[in-house]
Amino acid sequence: MFKNKIFKNKIFRKQQLKFMVLNLISFTVIFTIFGLIVFSQVQNTLFSKTDEELLMVKERINDHSPNDFKTPPPNDDSENVPRQNDWPKNPRIIVIKWDKNDNIVNQNEIGTSFYEDYLEDYTPDKTNLDTITNTNVNNLYPFRYILFEDTHDDDEVVYTQLMINIDAEQNILNNFSKLIILCSSIFILLSISASYYLSKKMMKPIIHSWNKQAEFVENASHELRTPLTIIQNKLELMLTTPHEKIANKFENIALSLSETRRLSKLTTDLLTLARADSSETQLEKKSIHVDSFVKSVCSPYIEIAESQDKHFWLKLNSDIMMNADETRLHQLLVILLDNALKYTGEHDSIGVKTYEEDHKVVFEISDTGIGIKKENIPYIFDRFYREDRARTRESGGIGLGLSIAQWIVSAHSGSIKVSVNENKGTTFKVKLPK
Residues of this chain that bind ligand ADP (CB under 6 A): 335, 339-340, 342-343, 367, 369-372, 380, 385-387, 392, 397-403, 426
- As a whole number of angstroms, the distance between CA 26 and CA 15 comes to 16
Min separation Cβ 382 and ligand ADP, Å: 8
- As a whole number of angstroms, the distance between CA 192 and CA 234 comes to 62
Cα end-to-end distance, the chain, whole Å = 49
Min separation Cβ 331 and ligand ADP, Å: 12
Closest to ligand ADP by CB, 97 vs 310, is 310
- As a whole number of angstroms, the distance between CA 89 and CA 119 comes to 21
Closest to ligand ADP by CB, 356 vs 388, is 388
Min separation Cβ 32 and ligand ADP, Å: 54
Closest to ligand ADP by CB, 111 vs 378, is 378
Min separation Cβ 310 and ligand ADP, Å: 12
Min separation Cβ 366 and ligand ADP, Å: 8
DSSP secondary structure string for all residues of 317-339: ---SEEEEEHHHHHHHHHHHHHH
169 neighbors 50 (Cβ within 8 angstroms):
yes
Closest to ligand ADP by CB, 25 vs 274, is 274
79 neighbors 110 (Cβ within 8 angstroms):
no
- As a whole number of angstroms, the distance between CA 133 and CA 144 comes to 6
- As a whole number of angstroms, the distance between CA 297 and CA 276 comes to 23
Closest to ligand ADP by CB, 111 vs 345, is 345
Min separation Cβ 350 and ligand ADP, Å: 9
368 neighbors 423 (Cβ within 8 angstroms):
yes
350 neighbors 344 (Cβ within 8 angstroms):
yes
- As a whole number of angstroms, the distance between CA 350 and CA 367 comes to 4
144 neighbors 133 (Cβ within 8 angstroms):
yes
- CA distances to 21, 25, 268 from 198, in Å: 11, 13, 39
Closest to ligand ADP by CB, 166 vs 405, is 405
Closest to ligand ADP by CB, 165 vs 419, is 419
251 neighbors 384 (Cβ within 8 angstroms):
no
* Phi, psi values for residue 242, rounded to 5°: -65, -20
Min separation Cβ 355 and ligand ADP, Å: 20
Closest to ligand ADP by CB, 286 vs 373, is 373
DSSP state of 90: P
Min separation Cβ 245 and ligand ADP, Å: 36
**421: closest CA among 349, 335, 334?**
349
Min separation Cβ 185 and ligand ADP, Å: 56
- As a whole number of angstroms, the distance between CA 201 and CA 213 comes to 19
Closest to ligand ADP by CB, 57 vs 333, is 333
